[in-house]
Structure 1
Amino acid sequence: MLKKFAVCAAVMASLYTASALAAPTLRVGSETTFPPFEFVDVKTKQFVGYEIDLINAVGKKAGYNISVQSMGFDAIIPALMTGTVDVGVSGMTITPERKKKVDFTVPVFKGGLVAVVRQKDAAAYKTPAAIKGKQVCAQLGTTGQLKAEEISGKKARTFNNAAEAMMELRNGGCDAVVADKPVIEYFLKESRQSRYFHELPTQLTTEDWGFAVKKGNKKVLNALNSALVSLQKDGTVAKIHKKWFNN
């Protein structure tokens, strides 16, 4: 009897493995230096973060294997348009301009931009209006870059990620940084450099983020949306949010 049970268990395990291998793979393009949403765990060398957990849960629910490919943020939409990747997952704000090039899922996060200055300059920058005419740093290709240029009236100095922009600010290479609030606050917490910076109290924007797919790819878009809605209803999304933001 035990022998039969062992054989059955082995067969079931084999079938499960075969099923997993047979599942189609979604190639996910992501800018993986964007903590706490996408980044590399220094111990495991694996991609981790809020959106990594979420796309893995969505993929599992929708019947896909997930393969994350690291790339610059400004390369994600071109990669989607050429079919190099299937999904863009990287804190991507849903904007009218981007919707002309790609399709978006239902929102996966409510984000927003803030401005940060050096602590020693806090008295001079009480509102975003004080940044007008100043040099602002931002991440390349983001809504942060657009907002930085809008409020300063000058071309922003751009960097591959928010952490690089923040270090440039600390070193005096710019007067302010405009970036996503949760990303800035995670950087300040993890780098233990909050004493050097001052976040302006006025949030500049409120933005919906989504996963992006190639325009017209209704099969993948519908599968992702269906899985996202299901995971929102069963509490999975809330659990992932609590894991990364403790609320």
Structure 2
Amino acid sequence: MKKATALLAALSLALPLTACSGSDPDAEQADKQGTDLSAVTADQALTDSLPENIKSAGVLKVVTSPDYEPAEFLSADGKTFLGYDIDIINAVAKKLNLKTEFSQAPFESIIPAVGSKYDVAISSFDVSPERLAQVNMSTYMKSGSLFMVQKENPKKFDPANLCGMKMGAQSGSSQQQYLENAAKTCASESKPALEVLPEADAQMLATKLAGGQLDAIMVDNIAAGFTASKNPNKFQTVGDVVESSEAGIITAKDQQQLAEAITKATQALIDDGTMANIFKHWNVDQSSVIKQAVLNPGQ
């Protein structure tokens, strides 16, 4: 999933990506609100299981990279965090009787800072062996990746043949790793080089695609579908979903109590339908809902 980017609230600064024809992107974005979480109540047993420092502070310090609508993005005021990931971690915090304190950071800088500057991270992080070696991950949803191109696919991009293409993905993402592995295959088979051009800034990634500097980008399928539907004259997806995976809420390796509490809170939100309601609010297909929240799957 994340973070290969597709184009996001911040992108409207460079391109009218999230606005329909003739609409004002700021006005459209100003109408967006998070899911109603008033029915979510605290679970005292889960609260009691929290590490003492977090329980006594009553605050969960959350970091995200808010450039990935509809998962996480900033409202028109540039201050309010919105998106289904934001609603999910807010609901988890409510279940734990905590308030949330949000910070933003570049995607690739987040994992090293969890456990020191921040308690948790939620930013559409795919679960992977590489990440599980560094942090705890509590699964909360599933998705995959899609390729996105300019409308009408002028570069004749073929998902079955990536060799010879110039492709973009967000720095540090699972999509970047996928493309770099494909590039090695192209080289080993003496085929034209696949040039992988990672970007830390989603805005620049999308700008380069729109300007023809990239043949395609590899993006999360939810964000890809959202962007293509909002900008049918600019972008389209090509091919089928690949690299289906689950996303995880991140905690530090030495914060096992917190990781277990978050996993149990997430499961409660799955069981009572809150998770499904959040995805429905953001027009995310219900196939993204998982049945079981798992801490560090495969370990």
Query: Could you give the per-residue CA deviations for residues 45-87 of structure 1, whole angstroms, max 9, x where no partner exists?
Result: 3101001001001001012211111001101111015x11110
| 1:49 aligned to which of 72, 77, 83 | 83
Question: 1:113: which partner in 2?
Answer: 145
TM-score normalised to the size of structure 2?
0.69
Paired with 1:68 and 1:108, the residues of 2 have a C-alpha distance of: 19
More helix by percentage: 1
Paired with 2:174 and 2:234, the residues of 1 have a C-alpha distance of: 24
* SS in structure 2 of the partner of residue 141 of structure 1: coil
* Structure 2 counterparts to residues 15-34 of structure 1, below 5 A: 24-34=58-68
TM-score normalised to the size of structure 1?
0.83
Question: 1:102: which partner in 2?
Answer: 135
* Structure 2 counterparts to residues 137-216 of structure 1, below 5 A: 137-153=168-184, 154-190=194-230, 192=231, 194-216=232-254
Paired with 1:141 and 1:85, the residues of 2 have a C-alpha distance of: 19
Question: Which entry has the higher C-alpha Rg, 1 or 2?
Answer: 1
Structure 2: gaps of 5 or more residues? 1-54, 185-193, 286-299
Structure 1 segments (4+ residues) deviating >4 Å: none
The alignment-based identity, stated in percent, is 27
**Cα drift, residue 44 of structure 1:** 7.7
What amino acid does structure 1 have at the position aligned with 2:204? E
Higher deviation after alignment, 232-241 or 44-53: 44-53
Aligned length: 222
Question: 1:9: which partner in 2?
Answer: none
* Structure 2 counterparts to residues 73-88 of structure 1, below 5 A: 73-80=107-114, 83-88=116-121
Paired with 2:72 and 2:271, the residues of 1 have a C-alpha distance of: 24
Q: 1:161 to 1:50 in 2, by over 3 A?
A: farther
What amino acid does structure 1 have at the position aligned with 2:273? G
Question: 2:162: which partner in 1?
Answer: 131
What amino acid does structure 2 have at the position aligned with 1:203? V
Question: 1:217: which partner in 2?
Answer: 255
Does structure 2 retain, via aligned residues, the 8 Å contact 1:139–1:161? yes
* SS in structure 2 of the partner of residue 172 of structure 1: coil
Does structure 1 retain, via aligned residues, the 8 Å contact 2:145–2:219? yes
What amino acid does structure 1 have at the position aligned with 2:62? V
Structure 1: gaps of 5 or more residues? 1-20
Does structure 2 retain, via aligned residues, the 8 Å contact 1:162–1:183? no
